[in-house]
Structure 1
Amino acid sequence: MSKPINVYAVPEVRKALDEALPEIFSRLGYTQTFKLIDTKLILGYSLVVFAAASFLLDKKLPWEQSKPYQQVLVALYMILSAVQLWFNKFVEKGTVYQGVKKNDTVSVGAKYKKHSHEFHVSITNRKGRSLELDTTFTKFFNEQGYMQSDILFNWFKEQLEALGSKKTE
């Protein structure tokens, strides 16, 4: 059994639910994929490399010699920052789990409402079918703050079955 959390603290609930998803979907036969996380890391590390290169150029060369290189590095940094912003806003969109099962994929996104027990869950599969659900996270925890894994597992299982039977719109 997991350690108890304060169910009135949204960050604690978010962390507990996000950490439970890989195990829940593993029980459903999915293997977690890390494509979004890897892409995010590559973008972030690339930004660090450009910033470090700029720093080293500034440290080693006089300003007039490093100016053309600095301009290129700053331009690349700005472009990559814009790509990272676009990626976070339009591609990742709050995705907390991605998994693969045979020829199916599932992507789960969650948005938590501040100062509320409600959160929004979106589940999407490879066929383009998606479910948008609003629920309360208190039903997945008992009064002492322990997560009820079986309730969460059954809830996701029901949602995936509903998603599988949903017709493409």
Structure 2
Amino acid sequence: MAATKIAVYSVPDLKNTTDDALPNYLTSLKFKQSHFLTDVRLALGYSAVVIAAITFYADYKLGWDKTKYWTFWAVLLYFTLNGALTFWIWGVEKGKVFAGEVDHPSVGRKSLSIASSVAKYTPIYNITVEYTNAEGETKTLRLSSPFTRWFDNDGFFVARPFQQWLASEIPLIGQVDPKNKGGDAKAAGSANGKSEVAVPVEQEKYDTPKKTTSSDAAPTGTKSRRGKRG
């Protein structure tokens, strides 16, 4: 499948594309993803939709007088499910893009979960990682990297620098994928061929274009003059 080009100044597009690439990379390393969080979210959402549809159909067919008692409880249940869905997304999932485990000869059976986030107008990818270390303890890491590390100037995602970043910074992934371990910013470079780490971009760069004042504009309507030879 051909790579999808995105707008390089759209932080949500940069995040969503990276979020999609993360579980694809981990499952290619034989990490088994758990879909429990997604399944619960879908169940809550679809249940609320089904209740709303049944209530509408019953009211349309039987009329308000015959259905008003059941409509009251249906509406109450509908808002309860939507409240539970909101809590589940913000209180339980908390931006998780991957949750699962791996059973690998070099590490045994270990668990891993990764949640991602971005700040508005700031093209920096932030992740919170929880994993099981060699001693069986649960460790937490908070990592950040600019999107320019794995997106080129044209807006195409480049997988190798992204994989090297994850394998280098997260010990569990580095043990499972040693060929990408050690690919730091200086060695691996970025998708744009730069080794430096970008700093957060100011809001005005992504919000409003720079205004040109009259004093900055080049003078027009003038011609260069040369002196006449005698």
TM bucket normalised to smaller: 0.7 to 0.9
Tell me how far 1:107 sits from its aligned partner: 1.5
Distance 1:5 1:82 in 2: 34
Tell me how far 1:36 sits from its aligned partner: 1.3
> Contact 1:32–1:99 (CA<8 Å) still a contact in 2?
yes
* Higher RCO, Cα 8 Å, sep 6+: 1
Distance 2:155 2:141 in 1: 28
Distance 1:73 1:4 in 2: 44
Aligned to 2:152: 142
Distance 1:159 1:27 in 2: 18
Distance 2:80 2:55 in 1: 15
Q: Which runs of 5+ in 1 are unaligned?
A: 165-169
Distance 1:142 1:48 in 2: 41
Match of 1:119 among 116, 121, 125: 125
Tell me how far 1:163 sits from its aligned partner: 8.9
Aligned to 1:79: 80
Distance 1:120 1:22 in 2: 16
Alignment-mate amino acid for residue 149 of structure 2? K
Normalised TM-score (structure 2): 0.64
Q: Write the mapping of 1:1-169 to structure 2, written as runs, cut at 5 A.
A: 2-102=3-103, 103-125=109-131, 127-161=137-171
Distance 1:142 1:78 in 2: 44
Alignment-mate amino acid for residue 38 of structure 1? D
Normalised TM-score (structure 1): 0.85
Aligned to 2:204: none
Q: Which runs of 5+ in 2 are unaligned?
A: 104-108, 175-230
> Contact 1:31–1:100 (CA<8 Å) still a contact in 2?
yes
Please state which structure has a larger fraction of its residues in helix.
1
